[in-house]
Amino acid sequence: MARNRILVVEDDESINKVIVKNLTAAGYAVFSCLDGEQAAKAVSRDTDFDLALLDVMLPGIDGFALLGILRHAEIPVIFLTAKNDVESKVRGLREGADDYIVKPFEVLELLVRIEKVLERTGKLRQVLEVGPLTINLLERSVRQDGEEIPLKPMEFDLLVMLAKNKNIALSRERLLHGVWGVDYQGETRTVDVHIAQIRKKLGLNEQIRTISKLGYRLEDA
């Protein structure tokens, strides 16, 4: 299954590299540009992007002008910008942006926002691949080297959360809230017990890393 393709348009080279690194680690296919003109040319050649992360203040063609080009190509847009004034936010959203994130931002928040926009626009991939694992979200099935491995509902949901954030450390609290919900009153040890079962059933002792005093990270094999 092809990975979701994301266009990153950010003129600050250091920020651009950080975004690309984290999105690539999370399993996205990323194409980056450092100015609006380069992005416009890229889209004129290839409109097969599932989402664009777009700065507002860009050299050449600014973000608002580029937004129209991207929307014409039916590419969803998340503005990722230092412009936090209400006027810019309202303009961006009114002109068709799907979300607006102000810098600085947390990588986990960005990944969640990306997933929500992809889901809302019908572009979210329904199959996740991590090493030998193929996770089908519609079937709620997990296959390892072609063989289906049965998981309990919470084990499956926990594995999906780790897979959607692969190579990123997630705290026990975040995993607990993400899978069991914010109203869950149990202990974080619940996460440990389910992780142990997932490791045993799927043989992921090496791939699911324990992060000392924090939680877990799922890594590519």
pLDDT at 182: 64
Whole-angstrom distance, CA of residue 183 vs CA of residue 76: 32
Q: Are residues 14 and 114 in the same domain?
A: yes
Per-residue pLDDT of the chain (221 residues; tens, 9 = 90+): 457 899 999 999 999 999 998 888 877 889 999 999 999 998 988 888 999 999 988 888 988 999 999 998 889 999 988 877 888 888 888 888 899 998 888 888 898 899 899 989 888 778 888 888 889 888 899 998 889 999 999 999 999 999 888 888 899 988 988 888 867 777 778 999 999 999 999 998 889 999 988 999 998 76
Q: Which domain holds residue 74?
A: 5-120
Q: Are residues 165 and 199 in the same domain?
A: yes
116: domain CATH number is 3.40.50.2300
Q: Which of 88, 120, 152 is the last residue in one of the domains?
A: 120
DSSP states of 76-117 as a string? -EEEEES---HHHHHHHHHTT-SEEEESS--HHHHHHHHHHH
Whether 42 and 31 have beta carbons less than 8 Å apart is answered as yes
pLDDT at 165: 84
Q: Coil, helix or strand for 209?
A: strand
Whole-angstrom distance, CA of residue 48 vs CA of residue 103: 27
Tokens representing 36 are 């609006």
Whether 129 and 148 have beta carbons less than 8 Å apart is answered as no
Q: Are residues 61 and 154 in the same domain?
A: no
User: How many domains are there within the chain?
Assistant: 2
